[in-house]
A and B are shown apart, each in its own frame.
Chain A
Amino acid sequence: MVTLLNMVIGGLLLGGLYALIAMGLTLQYGVARVLNISHGEFIMLGGMTTWTLYTVFGINPLVCLAICGPIAFVLGFGIHRVLFRRLQASAPSQGAFESSSMLASFGLLFIIQNLASIAWGTEIRAYTYLAIPVHLAGAVFQANRLVALGCAVAIGVAFYIFVARTRMGKAIRAAAQDPATAGLMGVNINSVLALCFGLGAAMAGAAGVLISMIYPVHVVMGMPYTVIAMIVVALGGLGSIPGSFIGGFVLGLVGSIVAYMDPGLSLVAYYGIFILLLLVRPTGIMGR
């Protein structure tokens, strides 16, 4: 019973991070239509920056959240403005844009990764923060994992409310459903797409900060997270914020249960679910 509880809590802790990462990607792919292969690189940048800020300057990782999130946003917004917006303007069709933007994001992955390895080197970096054991219903967890989950959920809920309630949030939903008609309503579609790409990058950056509190970080850590984000987005339904949340927790639980049996099998299980899903319900849990 205790081990099962252990696995479930462990899964929820992991799931929160997955949900946050996937929410970022669902914005970039579901609204801005960029299947951003370099999504994980923004996670890496968040993690590496936090490592530097904490070990060199002694800045609390939770403060880093407020630094890395906005920086990643500006970076993402800028990249959309100078790169993806131009690709979109010159693409003959939406399909052509989706493939060219994916290839461009591949290029972005290498650029960011190489610049990061010049800046930080290729060593594995780690720091200890809030590594205090917390007893939770008979199971023991480190406090930093609980803090990370709390932050991820808080960001997710705040974003959900933003999208559901505010004028700009509604414009994002309208743009996701029908960009041309949203334009006729007075929505500046290019700005909204850049905003979504920036918000997606900010979520990745924030996730990177949270991940660095728990796990070691290094310059090639990004790709596995990109893959996980894609699986969660497919699982939850493309473009659905609640879907990303549910999908993230589902995958976290599966990962935690499989890892308990054999840690080497969790990626296999993720792909297994992914393939099964594509066969049974290709639109995802919340998909339309």
Chain B
Amino acid sequence: MLEISNIDTYYGKAQALWDVSLSVDEGEIVALVGSNGAGKTTLLKTLSGVLRPASGTVTFLGQRIDGLAPHSIVEMGISHIPEGRRLFTQMSVGENLEMGAYVHAAWKRREETLDQVHEIFPVLKERQGQLASTLSGGEQQMVAMGRGLMSRPRLCLFDEPSYGLAPMLVTEIFRVIQDLRNQGMTVLLVEQNVRQSLEIADRACVLENGRIALAGECEALLEEELVKKAYLGL
């Protein structure tokens, strides 16, 4: 479904990704793990069009998407749920969700999608009229995820969805991601919570200093010495 081939990405003059290749198949959860500054967010930004790769290609459903503007990539069915939630804090919860359905195809079906999002996160229905900035961290993350789903994507790029949340909420967020996949969603998940993401993912990929250090099935990776030492503290 998503094919990333030999990507190099720069922030200004500093190179952040070196020759990264990765593929995500339909219906899969692929976890992307690695320490701070390894390039995980950079990779997601390259996929969603916020950054342009200097070389290499990104293909989604058979079409080249590298070099397209973010709004065109959303229209094609990729939703990037950014790190740190990035809600529109001066808008209500309902308006934030509506903004998620901005692309034409999704706008027409926004009420139907909203019902589905409310089913996943019932608390958002109660909070509808509240300003997004007045919500707790966990609820804000739910708004961010709900907003990302409002565009009716086929592929979701989650960037640290569990960051800063209480353990119970972390479990809840991971459960939601699993449910989404069971309903047919394809997921590329960036996480620092390595153990839990490897548990729900099919495959995983370890980024180190902007390069892919390891990639493979999750069960196999959990046995790797590098993963055990660096990320699981074993």
Q: Give me the interface of A with B, judged by CB distance under 8 Å.
A: 92, 167, 170-171, 173-174, 177-178, 180-189, 288
Residues of chain B within 8 A (CB-CB) of A171 are 99, 102
From the candidates A92, A167, A187, name the one contacting B71 in the complex (CB within 8 A): A187
B100 to A181, Cβ gap below 8 A?
A: no
* Residue in A closest to B86 when the chains form the complex, CB atoms: A181
A184 to B48, Cβ gap below 8 A?
A: yes
Shortest beta-carbon distance from A283 to chain B in Å: 13
Besides the known contacts A183-B70, A185-B100, 10 further A-B residue pairs in the complex with CB atoms under 8 A apart: A167-B98, A173-B88, A173-B90, A173-B91, A181-B82, A182-B99, A185-B103, A186-B106, A187-B102, A288-B90
* Residue in B closest to A190 when the chains form the complex, CB atoms: B69
Residues of chain A within 8 A (CB-CB) of B147 are 185
B90 to A186, Cβ gap below 8 A?
A: no
**What are the 10 A-B residue pairs with the smallest beta carbon separation, nearest first?**
A186-B103, A186-B74, A183-B70, A181-B86, A186-B102, A188-B71, A185-B102, A186-B71, A185-B99, A177-B88
Residues of chain B within 8 A (CB-CB) of A174 are 88, 91, 99
B 74-86 binary contact with A (CB < 8 Å = 1; else 0): 1100011010001
Shortest beta-carbon distance from B136 to chain A in Å: 20
* Residue in A closest to B133 when the chains form the complex, CB atoms: A288
Q: Give me the interface of B with A, judged by CB distance under 8 Å.
A: 12, 48-50, 69-71, 74-75, 79-80, 82, 86, 88-91, 95, 98-100, 102-103, 106-107, 147, 151
SS class, residues of chain A in contact with chain B: helix
From the candidates A170, A187, A288, name the one contacting B95 in the complex (CB within 8 A): A170
A183-B91 contact in complex given A167-B102, A167-B107, C-beta closer than 8 Å: no
Residues of chain B within 8 A (CB-CB) of A185 are 74, 99-100, 102-103, 147, 151
Residues of chain A within 8 A (CB-CB) of B91 are 170, 173-174, 177
CA distance A174 to B96 in the complex (A): 9
Residues of chain B within 8 A (CB-CB) of A183 are 49-50, 69-71
CA distance A7 to B95 in the complex (A): 41
B80 to A184, Cβ gap below 8 A?
A: yes
Residues of chain A within 8 A (CB-CB) of B100 are 185
CA distance A187 to B104 in the complex (A): 10
| A/B interface sample: 13 pairs, CB < 8 A | A173-B88, A177-B88, A177-B90, A181-B86, A183-B71, A184-B80, A185-B74, A185-B100, A185-B147, A186-B102, A186-B151, A187-B102, A189-B71
Residues of chain A within 8 A (CB-CB) of B103 are 185-186
Residues of chain A within 8 A (CB-CB) of B74 are 184-186
B80 to A188, Cβ gap below 8 A?
A: no
Shortest beta-carbon distance from A193 to chain B in Å: 13
CA distance A51 to B170 in the complex (A): 66
